Amino acid sequence: MIVVSKIDELKKLIYDWKSQGQTIGFCPTMGSLHAGHMDLVQSSKTQTDKTIVSIFVNPTQFNDPKDFEKYPVNTENDLLLCEKNGVDIVFLPDVKTMYPDTKTPIQLSIPKLQNHLCGRTRPGHFEGVLQIVAKLFHLTEPTKAFFGLKDYQQFRVISAMVENLNFPLDIVGVPTRRETDGLAMSSRNVRLSTKERETASLIPRMFALAKKTIQAGERDIKLWKEILRDFLLTGSSLRIDYLEVVDPIELQPKEKLEGEILLAIAVFVGEVRLIDNQVIEIPN
Ligand code: AMP
């Protein structure tokens, strides 16, 4: 495994691979890697010849500077995990390398997809994501790039950028890796106290309830959301940022419980913001 932090070095390695006709899989991350990230790596390894992981805590996607400062960093462990999982290159740039020009910044956005859900509470977040991902795509020239469906809105925003701007690559969505109680794995989970971790397990239990009530015939969207909100809030200290039912492609609010829906939530457990979602097929 090669660890590079300089763009020239990265481009030289990629040039060599490309001239040998190798396909490249790319998994962008912010580090503090866990089994969910490694699912992206494994998908990449089965679908492409070479796999690149980038580790970069991107400052432009943090609307809250405190969240940025507290973002866990664990580079030594990340590199071990990447090595163990057969990653070919880890790209580990610093902020100056990624943002040499801070005087004339560019802004990318897909308003229809990003002005609600996480975009509402985190203004500027998706602009930051699109900016860094577009740059990383140009630097790594991947055949395929792998994104977790846990960050479903991010997956859709990036897929739409690739489509709109004709980036020559495919986006692959990878299912969410979960802990044994169903909580989605997240780098932020390490910031939860034991008590908060218990509270967080309400999230997967809420999704189980959501499916159960649909199976039992619930079709009133307003009532359904109320049942789920009540379940999360009764006797718990959890705060709901949003709990929304949208269509899985354009992420617009659904009026009725029919067809395929995306149930997406963001909650605060203590100071930690957690997100999760499920695509649910509503039976006729
Ligand atoms: P992050 O380091 O949080 O920016 O995540 C990097 C990539 O890993 C993103 O595409 C995430 O959606 C994906 N990812 C994070 N957590 C999980 C998980 N539990 N299961 C699958 N993919 C994940």
Residue 89 belongs to a domain with what CATH number? 3.40.50.620
**What is the rounded distance in angstroms from the CA atom of residue 109 to the CA atom of residue 100?**
21
Q: 256 CA to middle of ligand 1, Å?
A: 30
Of 122, 146, 174, the position where a domain reaches its end is 174
**What is the rounded distance in angstroms from the CA atom of residue 73 to the CA atom of residue 39?**
20
Q: Are residues 270 and 240 in the same domain?
A: yes
Given pLDDT bands bounded at 50, 70 and 90, which one contains residue 103? confident
Residue 283 lies in a domain: no
Residue 180 lies in a domain: no
CB contact burial 115-131 (16+ within 10 A = b; e otherwise): ebbbbeebebbbbbbbb
Q: Are residues 238 and 164 in the same domain?
A: no
Q: Are residues 86 and 225 in the same domain?
A: no
Q: Are residues 165 and 208 in the same domain?
A: no
Inform me whether the pLDDT recorded for 262 exceeds 90.
yes
Number of domains comprising the chain = 2
From 37, 116, 125, 138, the catalytic residue: 37
Average pLDDT over residues 102-117: 93
Q: Are residues 20 and 130 in the same domain?
A: yes
Q: 19 CA to middle of ligand 1, Å?
A: 30
Report the CATH number at residue 229: 3.30.1300.10
Residue 271 lies in a domain: yes
Report the greatest alpha carbon distance in the chain: 61
Among 34, 57, 56, 37, which residue's Cα sits nearest to residue 45? 37
Average pLDDT over residues 173-201: 97
Nearest CA to ligand 1 atom 12: 148
Say how many C-beta atoms besides its own lie within 10 A of residue 10's C-beta.
22
Which residues have any ligand 1 atom within 6 Å of their CB? Answer: 29-30, 36-37, 39-40, 147-148, 150-151, 174, 176-177, 184-187
Q: Are residues 170 and 191 in the same domain?
A: no
Q: Quick: pLDDT tens for 208-259.
A: 999 999 999 999 999 999 999 999 999 899 999 999 999 999 999 999 999 9
Residue 281 lies in a domain: no
Q: Write the single-letter amino acid at 230.
A: D
Of 174, 203, 233, the position where a domain reaches its end is 174
Strand 24-29 vs strand 50-55: parallel, antiparallel, or unpaired? parallel
Average pLDDT over residues 80-87: 98
Nearest CA to ligand 1 atom 7: 29
Q: Are residues 210 and 123 in the same domain?
A: no
**What is the rounded distance in angstroms from the CA atom of residue 229 to the CA atom of residue 234?**
8
Domain hosting 89: range is: 2-174
pTM of the model: 0.97
**Residue 138 annotated among the catalytic residues of the structure:** no
Q: How far apart are the first and last CA of the chain?
A: 51
